[in-house]
């Protein structure tokens, strides 16, 4: 069980939000690492985007200018598109240490995730003014990590830039299907939210529709950023529309496809997936999951699984071997896919039920698919069973090599 607040296709009343904000003020962080420790090799994904929002007159901010307007918008989370993330907070509380509830909206479920403003930057250094804050996730958030939102002005050029930088990994989920949905759609929502954040700030500067500064004509000299931009990740229409100037997205090695891949491998050969994974983890035990599954990193376990996998390659060609879709065999392959699929997705963590279910499902689907392909090869194409089995073995080796390369 988790303490994640969620509802189906509806939000929370003001009274409910107020009570939950009071509770959020007492919640601990849902991670222990420092910012310096949030690296890719420690299991933390990183995403970054920045864009020139506008150009104002050169020189430091005057206190009632474009930088001030954008600063007000950033403090009040005005850059966030409320269709994706809506922030609930008490603006009368001090900025640093302020609890915030982020209502994450997807197709169906809404999640109310607690964060705290853990640090604030407000400084002038080397001809640049920088203002921003950092959100730290709390217990009950579906993600874990830290995220910076920084607004800067270059005194020489008058350039106003907005920068978002985060280190994150999965947090707590109320159920397995929420986790699967996050894995399938989370990064798409994340990218869209980044793009729209820059676009919203440009729109605020263009129209002047800021609560504190309704008179847009007062800043008619400000040039809103519209020039063509360069991209540092895959191209997408959303980036062109929002004008995101730089985006770097680096995802840790336990991608969704790796889990599926090990599940497919288990469906082809029961012991191939855990044997290959154990071989890799025995060489790099630091990548092994916590709990009992850490035994996969043992050299002894690796050797035992290698012998079982080799024996299976021989037994697969024997005429009296049961079909892989017989109930006992199918259950074994599903368990193998669940173990390998969850273990490869959990470096330094405990196994995830969502990833285990995904690995098992991939193993079952793979079992039926390759059973039919084996029948096609032997009955309709006339290939001897041994030849068809050796062809499948070659595919197992090829897929296994790809999966190991993806883990390195």
Please name the residues in contact with 128: beta carbons below 8 A apart, sequence gap of 6 or more. Answer: 152, 153, 154, 155
**What residues does 216 pair with on adjacent strands?**
none
- Are the C-beta atoms of residues 291 and 352 closer than 8 Å to each other? no
pLDDT tens column, 44-80: 888 888 888 888 889 999 888 899 999 999 999 999 9
Instruction: Report pLDDT for 281.
Output: 78
Give the Cα separation of 57 and 60 in Å (integer).
9
Question: Which pTM does this prediction carry?
Answer: 0.62
CA dist 11 and 105 (Å) reads 9
- For position 230, what pLDDT does the model report? 28
The residue ranking higher by pLDDT, 210 or 34, is 34
238 has a pLDDT exceeding 50: no
* Cα 369 off chain centre by: 30
Q: Give the mean pLDDT of 257-277.
A: 89
**7-11, 115-119, 213-217, 247-251: which has the minimum mean pLDDT?**
213-217
- The total number of residues written for the chain in this structure: 408
Please say if the pLDDT value at position 346 is more than 70.
Answer: no
DSSP per-residue string spanning 125-173: ETTEEEEEEEEEEBTT-SEEEEEEEEEEEETTT-EEEEEEEEEEEE---
- Quick check: 21 and 91 in contact, CB under 8 A? no
What confidence category does residue 229 fall into, taking pLDDT thresholds of 50, 70 and 90? Answer: very low
């Amino acid at each position: 069980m988790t303490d994640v607040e969620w509802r189906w296709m509806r939000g929370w009343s003001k009274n409910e939000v107020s009570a939950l904000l009071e509770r959020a003020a007492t919640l601990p962080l849902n991670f222990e690492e420092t910012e310096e420790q949030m690296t890719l090799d420690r299991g933390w994904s990183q995403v970054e985007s920045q864009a020139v929002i506008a150009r104002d007159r050169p020189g430091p901010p005057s206190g009632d200018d474009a930088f001030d307007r954008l600063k007000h918008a950033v403090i009040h989370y005005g850059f966030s598109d409320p269709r994706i993330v809506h922030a609930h907070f008490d603006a009368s509380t001090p900025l640093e240490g302020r609890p915030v509830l982020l209502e994450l909206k997807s197709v169906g479920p809404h999640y109310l995730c607690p964060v705290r403003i853990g640090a604030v930057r407000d400084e002038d250094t080397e001809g640049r003014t920088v203002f921003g804050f950092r959100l730290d996730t709390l217990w009950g958030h579906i993600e874990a990590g830290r995220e910076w939102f920084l607004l800067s002005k270059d005194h020489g050029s008058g350039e106003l830039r907005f920068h978002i930088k985060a280190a994150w990994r999965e947090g707590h989920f109320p159920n397995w299907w929420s986790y699967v949905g996050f894995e399938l759609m989370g990064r798409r929502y994340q990218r869209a939210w980044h793009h729209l954040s820059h676009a919203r700030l440009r729109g605020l500067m263009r129209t002047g529709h800021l609560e504190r500064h309704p008179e847009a004509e007062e800043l008619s000299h400000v040039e809103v950023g519209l020039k063509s931009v360069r991209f540092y990740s895959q191209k997408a229409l959303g980036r062109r529309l929002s004008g995101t100037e730089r985006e770097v997205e680096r995802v840790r090695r336990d991608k969704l496809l790796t889990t599926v891949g090990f599940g497919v491998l288990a469906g082809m050969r029961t012991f191939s997936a855990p044997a290959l994974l154990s071989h890799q983890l025995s060489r790099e035990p630091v990548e092994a999951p916590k709990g009992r599954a850490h035994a996969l990193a043992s050299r002894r376990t690796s050797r035992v699984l290698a012998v079982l996998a080799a024996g299976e390659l021989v037994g697969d060609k024997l005429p009296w071997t049961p079909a892989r879709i017989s109930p006992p065999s199918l259950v074994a392959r599903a368990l193998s896919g669940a173990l390998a699929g969850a273990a490869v997705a959990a470096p330094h963590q405990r196994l995830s039920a969502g990833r285990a279910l995904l690995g098992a499902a991939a193993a079952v689907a793979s079992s039926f698919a390759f059973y039919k392909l084996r029948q096609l090869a032997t009955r309709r194409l006339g290939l001897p069973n041994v030849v068809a089995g050796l062809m499948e073995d070659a595919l197992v080796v090829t897929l296994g090599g790809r999966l190991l390369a993806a883990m390195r």
